[in-house]
């Protein structure tokens, strides 16, 4: 039995060949009667790029990511590839430039934060964080930083944050 819906690749090929981006020809619509406009594709591209970069941020800042996030990131990358085949690489790069710039600023900020020495509230020594996690003062919930040598695993609460007595 033939699938009544065309594959994503068939849709992309047809849209490229026929220039059907927002046209009236709905033969290749993934949803009956819906053919995305260029603006629709641009909005989707922004969304998918945000997905990809947010997972990259999670890994960069926290060095952790779940398998679901990896799958979603790969899905978003494939969708961006499909949109690129329709719009063209140069057009897509131009459309995504503002989103990429915002993420570049975020990634640059993470690099600066990770390269900034912090004072350990336990021993007073400066140390560099490996991730952007911080610990929390039990007295005021202000963030505080404790070096790995001073971390006592028994003080971790169920969320993974350290709860220390008030230092203020």
Domain ranges within the chain, ordered by starting residue: 1-36, 45-115, 118-164
Q: What are phi and psi of 28, to 5 degrees?
A: -115, 20
Number of other residues whose CB lies within 10 A of the CB of residue 166:
10
As given in the structure block, the two tokens for residue 50 are 């945000």
Q: What are phi and psi of 126, to 5 degrees?
A: -75, 145
pLDDT tens for the chain, 168 residues long, are 454 555 555 555 555 554 444 444 444 445 666 678 889 899 999 999 999 999 898 888 877 778 888 888 899 999 999 899 889 999 999 999 999 999 999 999 888 888 888 888 778 888 887 776 666 565 666 667 777 777 766 655 444 454 444 444
Half-sphere exposure of 24 (CA within 13 A, CB side): 0
Q: What are phi and psi of 79, to 5 degrees?
A: -65, -40
Q: Which runs of E-coded beta strand occur in 53-153? A: 118-119, 126-127, 135-137, 143-144
As given in the structure block, the two tokens for residue 129 are 């964080």
The model's pTM? 0.65
Mark 37-69 as b/e (b = at least 16 C-beta within 10 Å). eeeebbebbeebbebbbebebeebbeeeeeeee
C-alpha dist (Å) from residue 105 to 52, 99, 109, 147: 16, 10, 6, 27
């Amino acid at each position: 039995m033939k699938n009544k819906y065309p594959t994503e690749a068939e849709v992309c090929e047809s849209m490229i060949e026929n220039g059907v981006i927002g046209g009236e020809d709905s033969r290749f619509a993934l949803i009956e009667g819906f053919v995305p406009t260029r603006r629709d594709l641009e909005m989707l591209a922004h969304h998918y790029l945000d997905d990809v970069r947010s997972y990259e941020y999670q890994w960069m800042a926290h060095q952790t990511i779940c398998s679901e996030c990896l799958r979603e990131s790969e899905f978003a990358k494939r969708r961006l590839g499909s949109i690129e085949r329709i719009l063209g690489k140069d057009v897509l790069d131009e459309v995504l430039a503002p989103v990429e710039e915002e993420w570049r600023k975020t990634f640059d900020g993470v690099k600066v934060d990770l390269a900034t020495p912090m004072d350990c509230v336990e021993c007073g020594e400066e140390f560099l964080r490996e991730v952007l996690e911080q610990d929390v003062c039990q007295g005021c919930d202000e963030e505080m930083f404790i070096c790995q040598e001073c971390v006592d695993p028994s003080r971790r609460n169920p969320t993974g944050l350290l709860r220390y007595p008030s230092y203020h």
